[in-house]
A and B are shown apart, each in its own frame.
Chain A
Amino acid sequence: MSKATIIPFGPQHPVLPEPLHLDLVVQDETVVDCIPQIGFVHRGLEKLVETRDYNQFIYIAERICGICAMGHSLGYAETVESLMGVEVPKRAEYLRVIWHELSRVHSHLLWLGLAADAFGFESMFMHCWRLRERVLDLFEKTTGGRVILSVVKVGGVVRDIDATQMAEIVSVLDGLKDEYTQIMNTLLTDTSVKNRTVGVGYLSAEDATALSMVGPFARASNLAYDVRSFGRGAYGDLSEFAPITDTAGDCFARVKVRCLEVLQSIEIIKELAAKMPAGDIAVDVKGAPADGAQASNVLEQPRGECYYYARGNGSKNLERMRMRTPTSQNLAGMTVALKGCDLADVNMIILTIDPCISCTER
């Protein structure tokens, strides 16, 4: 065996739009170790909580990540609401979950497009992004924004979705589902995709548990952990919810889990749209979080569980706001999955983890 060499990967790399740097320790063509390094897009967003009041910070929380913008504003609002003991109206909970699940559909479609592009499957990339565009159009019509939605506020939501718009969402999703199923079936049965993903980047269920992996990455290693199954908010009203898991733990399993989650999200939205209760969409929130009050919260983002912590100091500004994003958890598992792989498979493995570095660094 030849001498070990270190090959730098990223922070600028064609397959990865995110600034992640890896030092790959390579022997022959095999990766024997990998040392990740982040810190290229740190923006100090958590610190800004000291300069903006708790209502204003929601727009900063939203900007932690462009893809999970809805999720971060929702997670932050829920944390502050539990800090202040605010009860959100049922209709607002439903609307929040509908938008959140729509953003999961758009996030997974975006990822699927990028993954297809990395396989060299250019036409599928186009089709995935074409379908994703429909979800963005729905956002534009219902919230006024395509990516940064600014619809969640502490105490509820700022916009309602009326019956006509709701019917439009359902019909657009029905159309999308038909086309998406064709794309998905193609991807999951394609031999060239299988050649590149089956058995590549394996992570065992034991490792996934020991390293506290979250999201589709963990579920593909047969760890049935999904925050949505706790049944909080509108998720509690779903007739059934079971996390989508796979036993294989390889890249193909991760592709499959994400693919199926899109269909699951569409079903969730349709069920909630049918069950939508009438009523207010927000309650007035007055005052400030008490001095020393603490609250924590978890939320299932498209990439996995995100943890939020907030502490009040009696003023309108929070004392501390902390977020632990899914990718910062999953990077540990990624280094394990990379060990022993072929150098040519590195980009595939990283992509199937769907890392979001701007989330991780905040």
Chain B
Amino acid sequence: MGSFKLGGMTFGSLFKKPETVLYPFETKPAPAGLKGHVENEVSQCILCGICQKSCPADAIVVEKKERTWSIDPFRCVQCGTCVRLCPKKCLTMEPSYTPIATTKTCRVLQVPDPKAGVTES
């Protein structure tokens, strides 16, 4: 019977380290380069809008007038196109996933105006 032939492997598994982890008390470490969520280093962003145009999921909205860059993490499909095409390389793909939420909200980032910064200082 096949089940007995496979028995050796199954029996051996009793003495091996489990293949699974005890989620949620333990989690697997995220490998480098895992596609979790998109981050923007806003001080570098020039609000060019390339990320918005290239996004297949329409997740990013760039408002030049208000100087905001916003992303809807629940629309984003983690394809990485925006990260690849950003001319200032200010977008990065971070390994941590977007936390669960009860409402879908956009993350709006205020992009500092470099010129305003100069006059202020």
Contacts and interface: CB of A to CB of B under 8 A. Distances in A.
Interface of A: 52, 55-57, 59-60, 121, 123-124, 127, 130, 133, 140-141, 144-145, 148, 150, 158-159, 179, 182-183, 185-187, 189-193
Given A56-B54, A123-B10, A145-B35, A133 B5 contact: no
B49 interface: no
B19 A148 contact: no
Contacts of A189: 2, 5
Nearest to B2: A190
Given A56-B54, A59-B56, A144 B81 contact: no
Contacts of B81: 55-56, 59
Contacts of A182: 6, 8-9
Contacts of B75: none
A192 B4 CA distance: 12
B59 to A, nearest CB: 12
A179 B77 contact: no
Contact of A59 (B1, B9, B10, B77): B77
Contacts of B35: 144-145, 150
Contact of B1 (A140, A183, A190): A190
B19 A130 contact: yes
A193 B81 CA distance: 47
B33 interface: yes
Given A59-B77, A148-B77, A150-B78, A183 B6 contact: yes
Is chain A's binding surface mostly helix, strand, loop or mixed? helix
Contact of A192 (B1, B31, B79): B1
B107 to A, nearest CB: 20
B84 interface: yes
Contacts of A191: 1-2
Nearest to A148: B77
B80 A186 contact: no
A121 B10 CA distance: 13
Interface in B19-44: 19, 31, 33-35
B6 A186 contact: yes
Given A60-B56, A140-B31, A150-B35, A190 B5 contact: yes
Contacts of B31: 140-141
26 contacts: A55-B54, A56-B81, A59-B56, A59-B77, A60-B56, A121-B2, A123-B3, A127-B9, A127-B10, A130-B19, A133-B19, A144-B34, A144-B78, A144-B93, A145-B35, A148-B77, A148-B78, A158-B84, A159-B33, A179-B9, A182-B6, A183-B6, A186-B5, A189-B2, A190-B5, A192-B1
A318 to B, nearest CB: 14
A45 to B, nearest CB: 13
Contacts of A186: 2, 5-6
Given A121-B2, A144-B80, A158-B84, 7 more contacts: A52-B56, A55-B81, A140-B34, A141-B33, A148-B77, A179-B9, A191-B2
Contacts of B77: 59, 148, 150
A141 B95 CA distance: 11
A229 to B, nearest CB: 32
